[in-house]
Amino acid sequence: MLHFTNKELHGSVEPIRSPTVEKLVERTFEIPPDVVIRRLPLYARSLRYLLQEGITSVSSQDLGSRINVTAAQIRKDLSYFGEFGKQGIGYDVEKLLGHIERILGLHQEWRVALVGIGHLGEAIARYEGFRSQGVAITALFDADPRKVGTVLNDLTIQGLDRLHSIIHDQDIRMAVIAVPANHAQEVADQLVSAGVKAILSYAPTVVQVPAGVWVRYIDPVAIIHSLTYYLARDEAGMSTATIIDEDE
């Protein structure tokens, strides 16, 4: 409840919030950290598996064990968006999945443009898992004139000269980049200019985008190198702490 101080008739009136209301308002407008947003799809995937297994209720402990996240972390993550479970009862799997899908915007289908139809791009274009998860690749682009005009997965590959008009006509706001590193920035600039606001890049380089555009990166080589670190450490018989001490 808001409390007001009385001032003179023509004076200002200032609201005074109780501590409880202050905390509630502050929490309501708190922006979830990006790491929380990254975990939400993992929660949704696990909840889908639970439904397939015929499980209708799950505790935060059981849900966390499936994705290696603590029960406390799950409760904290979900608290950014409301109250979804009951202590001692757990979460209704179907309802929680519905809430998370709405938070992620999966109540609608998102059109996606794919730029770069090499071996990787072709595999991405043929992947059937996107459409079942609320994502549809509806436009393909490549700079190679030998590929332009050919059909892949029922879509005609277009030249980059048509990128802006097609993205505008289809109201596409998300794109996948699967081009060599030396062309990634140029392609990203074209996509942003056309109105794309979210980019998934497979190019092994960082692209610069303006504020308000989100970029995620998938670099298989970099990921593999992060694993070779552990293999090299084990072969050398060293712990992480030992290697750090030597560097110092």
pLDDT digit string (tens) for 2-18?
A: 343 333 333 333 333 43
Same domain, residue pair 17 and 42: yes
Predicted pLDDT at 176: 98
User: Which CATH number characterizes residue 128's domain?
Assistant: 3.40.50.720
Same domain, residue pair 3 and 96: yes
Predicted pLDDT at 172: 97
Residue 187 lies inside a defined structural domain of this protein: yes
With tokens 């712990």, the residue in question is 239
Please provide the average confidence, as pLDDT, over all residues in the chain: 84
Same domain, residue pair 1 and 96: yes
Whether pLDDT at 137 is above 70: yes
Residue 248 lies inside a defined structural domain of this protein: no
Same domain, residue pair 102 and 124: no
pLDDT digit string (tens) for 35-51?
A: 999 999 999 999 999 99
Residue of higher predicted confidence among 102 and 5: 102
**Coil, strand or helix at 69:** coil
Same domain, residue pair 36 and 75: yes
Whether pLDDT at 108 is above 90: no
Predicted pLDDT at 128: 85
DSSP secondary structure, 191-236, as one string: HHHHT--EEEE-SSS-----TT-EEEE--HHHHHHHHHHHHHHHHT
Would you place residue 245 in the very low, low, confident or very high pLDDT band (cuts 50, 70, 90)? Answer: very low
Among 20-34, 90-104, 180-194, which stretch is predicted with the lowest mean pLDDT? 20-34
Would you place residue 130 in the very low, low, confident or very high pLDDT band (cuts 50, 70, 90)? Answer: confident
Is this prediction's pTM over 0.85? no
Same domain, residue pair 26 and 99: yes
With tokens 């596409």, the residue in question is 172
Whether pLDDT at 141 is above 80: yes
Same domain, residue pair 163 and 186: yes
pLDDT digit string (tens) for 202-220?
A: 999 999 999 999 999 999 8
DSSP secondary structure, 25-50, as one string: HHHHTPPPPHHHHHHHHHHHHHHHHH
Two structure tokens written together for 157: 């590959």
Distance CA 194, CA 166 (A): 9
Q: Which amino acid is at 16?
A: I
Which range marks the domain in which residue 13 is found? 1-107
Whether pLDDT at 148 is above 60: yes
Q: What is the mean pLDDT of residues 143-160?
A: 96
Residue 226 lies inside a defined structural domain of this protein: no
